[in-house]
Amino acid sequence: MNKKLIFLIVAVLILFFLPLIYKASFFIHVLILIFMFAMASQAWDLVGGYTGQISFGNAIFFGIGAYTSTLLYMHWSVTPWIGMLVGGVVAVIVALIVGYPAFKLKGHYFLLATIGIGEIIRTLFLNWPAVGGAQGIFIPFEKESFWNFQFHSSKLPYYYIILTLFILTFLVSYFVEKSKLGFYFKAIREDEDAAKAMGIHTQKFKFVAFAISAFLTAITGTFYAQYLMYIDPNSVMPFMLSTQIVLVAILGGMGYLFGPLLGSLVLIPLSELTRVLLGSSGSGFHLVIYGLLIMLISMYKPAGLAGWIQEWNFNKKKAAGGEVDGTTINS
Amino acid sequence: MAPLLTVENVTKEFSGIVANKDVNFEINEGEIVSLIGPNGAGKTTMFSMIAGALSPSSGSIVFNGEEISKKQAFEICHLGIARTFQVVRVLKQMTVLENVIVGALSRTNSVKIARGEAENILKVTGLYLKKDYLGKNLTLADMKRLEVAKALATKPKLLLLDEVMAGLTPVETNEAVELLREIHGMGITLFIVEHVMEAIMPVSDRIIVLDAGKKIAEGSPEEVVNDERVIKAYLGDRYHARS
Ligand SMILES: Nc1ncnc2c1ncn2[C@@H]1O[C@H](COP(=O)(O)OP(=O)(O)OP(=O)(O)O)[C@@H](O)[C@H]1O
Ligand SMILES: [Mg+2]
């Protein structure tokens, strides 16, 4: 227990100092994307990995976060920090509305419904002049400051902001996992009828999972808008983004606390590198690699990287002849 | 004293199939009542209606003075009815302990309290040494025990047990009967569906017999085994005609 805490503190310290030592802008950019996707994926995992409701529409919430803060800023000069929280609340409301019909569906039908709803909302934004339509919105440059959520001379502040946001999201997941909510989410994932028979209002708890997930995803969206200083429906709410959020979690291990971070650590550098190495001619090539990785994982290690590490730890303990309390291993 | 459970004129139809037809019976607090009948008689359907997984096509079910036939399963659980599933529904990717904690959380918000209660229940049900096994890694006999443990964790007044002895060895069956006695000793009323008659006869206060969805007999174990209609239902018309 204590050993884990020390490990975590050391890891956070390393993450804090890393970009101070190695300052290449591209490197920091990749780090920012890693934590951004880890955060969105961690948020997704609450409803996908823990509660077992596979949403391929979480980009909607990402987009809602980006649009809410941007529009509030453009029209009423509201700081993106407040816009971020308002975006979270709007996303929760949308999640409740979307969840109402979607949660009536099970398994693949739920998944398909989330894709459909995501595409409808994106198309709506594409054709809605008041929110910039297909042209999107450029966020006007202001003096760089924390309050304005704008930094022009260095990417470092963005890195520290997303690192902090990720850690907060991770802590939310951690406390959810340890609490009644976590047990209830998993029970719903494992067997909805059994969960109901044990007194769980499954519909209500699916909404709770979806709402927390939507709130955190929207926050990630606001961050992305401020980082790019430009938003349009195809960059903040495309189906590809929803897919990427899911793939990161699948690769890392759904329903494992460290899954999203592990998945993001592997997938994001890979996709950014192929993008850089192959240029625009290779656009889409990272998708091929994604596809391959996901196929390999689902064939050989369906529990993802986190599940694999747990299994490896377990075998190591067993080989050392130590007391194995487990048989709790997924294989 | 009013009965704990009253089932009145309950009928359940599935697009054409009548699984239960005008069934009436009562269960009093503290009793052990068994529900028997040939395959497809409608026993599991009756359990599912009492537990709220299905709602009756018509009729009423009253528990503790409250009409429950329109209520959902989770509400009925909170009112004090728990059930096991004939086809076991353990939470496969969760440990045995976690399975039972989920049940215990129906009465508390504290995982710590729920864990303590779950550990006690695992001791009673003889699963304590396997508490860290994943649900999916248990033997069938242990899965059946876990079904009981999960249900017990919700602190029911009335416990519905659907064939928890099916597929068990004679030794395991004896252990299961012991467990039933122990659970009954905690003050829980038991309503049991079972095919293993020898096991269930000695512990039952009363037996209700269903055949093709209808109640055909009710009484003490002795009365029921000597009942014409029951013998006929179990052995078939032809046999009856010849004898
Ligand atoms: N969900 C359902 N849809 C349609 N028919 C059903 C459904 N559930 C049960 N039935 C039918 O209702 C009848 C009663 O089934 P039920 O499972 O209640 O019997 P049972 O007495 O529990 O049988 P067994 O001893 O085999 O468990 C059967 O004919 C069955 O096929
Ligand atoms: Mg049955």
B116 lines ligand 1 (CB under 6 A): no
Residues 6+ apart with CB under 8 A from B89: A191, A193, A194, A197, B147
CA trace torsion B131, B137, B142, B148 (10° rounding):
70
φ, ψ of residue B161 in degrees (nearest 5): -115, 115
Q: How far is the CA of A140 from the centre of ligand 1 (A)?
A: 66
Which amino acid, A10? V
B87 lines ligand 1 (CB under 6 A): no
Of A114, A100, A83, nearest to A204 (Cα)?
Answer: A100
Q: How far is A179 from chain B (nearest CA, A)?
A: 6
Mean of pLDDT values over A119-128: 93
CB contact under 8 A, B78 and A197: no
CB contact under 8 A, A198 and B153: yes
Long-range contacts of B225-232 (CB under 8 A, 24+ apart): B225/B197, B225/B201
CB contact under 8 A, A200 and B82: no
Q: Which atom of ligand 1 is found nearest the CA of B38?
A: 25
Sheet holding B158-162, edge to edge: B81-83, B158-162, B189-193, B32-36, B206-211, B214-219
Residue B108 lies in a domain: no
B111 at the A interface (CB within 8 A)? yes
Helix (H, G, I), strand (E, B) or coil at B16: coil
CB contact under 8 A, B154 and A327: no
Of A305, A207, A203, A72, nearest to B75 (Cα)?
Answer: A203
| SS3 labels along A11-57 | HHHHHHHHHHHCCCHHHHHHHHHHHHHHHHHHHHHHHHHHCCCCCCC
B19 lines ligand 1 (CB under 6 A): yes
Residues of B in contact with A181 (CB under 8 A): none
B37 lines ligand 1 (CB under 6 A): yes
pLDDT-derived band at B210, boundaries 50, 70, 90: very high
Residue B92 lies in a domain: no
B45 lines ligand 1 (CB under 6 A): yes
Q: Residue B141 above 80 pLDDT?
A: yes
The structural domains of chain A, with segments of one domain joined by +, span 32-319
CA trace torsion A247, A252, A253, A259 (10° rounding):
-120
The encoded tokens of residue A266 equal 């592997």
Task: For residue B190, give the CATH number of its domain.
Answer: 3.40.50.300
Q: Chain A residues within 8 A (CB-CB) of chain B?
A: 178-180, 183-184, 186-187, 189-191, 193-202, 255, 325-330
CB contact under 8 A, B77 and A329: no
In this prediction, residue A5 carries a pLDDT of 86
CA-based nearest residue in chain B for residue A199: B74
The encoded tokens of residue B184 equal 């009954």
Mean of pLDDT values over A177-202: 97
A23-58: pLDDT as tens digits: 888 999 999 999 999 999 999 999 999 999 999 999
Least confident of A25-34, A45-54, A92-101, A319-328: A319-328
d(CA A329, CA B71): 38
Return residues with CB closer than 5 A to ligand 2 (ion).
B 43-44, 86
Q: Distance of alpha carbon A145 from its chain centroid, rounded? A: 26
d(CA A98, CA A287): 28
CA-based nearest residue in chain A for residue B138: A327
A193, A198, A330 member nearest B53 (Cβ): A193
Q: How far is the CA of B36 from the centre of ligand 1 (A)?
A: 14
B190 beta partners: B32, B159
Residue B187 lies in a domain: yes
Mean of pLDDT values over A288-294: 80
- The domain of B24 spans 5-86+156-242
Q: How far is the CA of A305 from the centre of ligand 1 (A)?
A: 43
B43-67: pLDDT as tens digits: 999 999 999 999 999 999 999 999 9
d(CA A288, CA A296): 12
Half-sphere exposure of A173 (CA within 13 A, CB side): 30
Mean of pLDDT values over A13-21: 89
In this prediction, residue B134 carries a pLDDT of 94
d(CA B21, CA A43): 49
pLDDT-derived band at A282, boundaries 50, 70, 90: low
Q: Which atom of ligand 1 is found nearest the CA of B48?
A: 18
Q: How far is the CA of B38 from the centre of ligand 1 (A)?
A: 11
Q: How far is the CA of B209 from the centre of ligand 1 (A)?
A: 15
Nearest CA to ligand 1 atom 31: B40
In this prediction, residue A152 carries a pLDDT of 87
Residue B60 lies in a domain: yes
Query: Crossing angle, helix A285-300 and helix A259-278, to 10 degrees?
Result: 150
d(CA A98, CA B144): 38
Q: How far is A40 from chain B (nearest CA, A)?
A: 24
Mean of pLDDT values over B103-120: 97
In this prediction, residue A293 carries a pLDDT of 82
pTM: 0.92
Q: Residue A325 above 50 pLDDT?
A: no
B41 lines ligand 1 (CB under 6 A): yes
Q: How far is the CA of B44 from the centre of ligand 1 (A)?
A: 7
Q: Which atom of ligand 1 is found nearest the CA of B15?
A: 4
CA angle A317, A306, B115 (to 5 degrees): 70
Count of domains forming chain B: 1
Q: Which of B10, B36, B44 to mutate to test the pocket of ligand 1 (most atoms within 8 A of CB)?
A: B44
A221 or A288, which is more confident: A221
d(CA A331, CA B63): 44
CA distances from A254 to A43, A50, A214, B92, B136 (A): 11, 7, 17, 15, 18
Assembly ipTM: 0.92
Residue B235 lies in a domain: yes
Mean pLDDT of chain B: 92
Helix (H, G, I), strand (E, B) or coil at A247: helix
Which amino acid, B211? D
Using an 8 Å Cβ cutoff, are B219 and B201 in contact?
A: no
Q: Which of B39, B43, B49 to mutate to test the pocket of ligand 1 (most atoms within 8 A of CB)?
A: B43
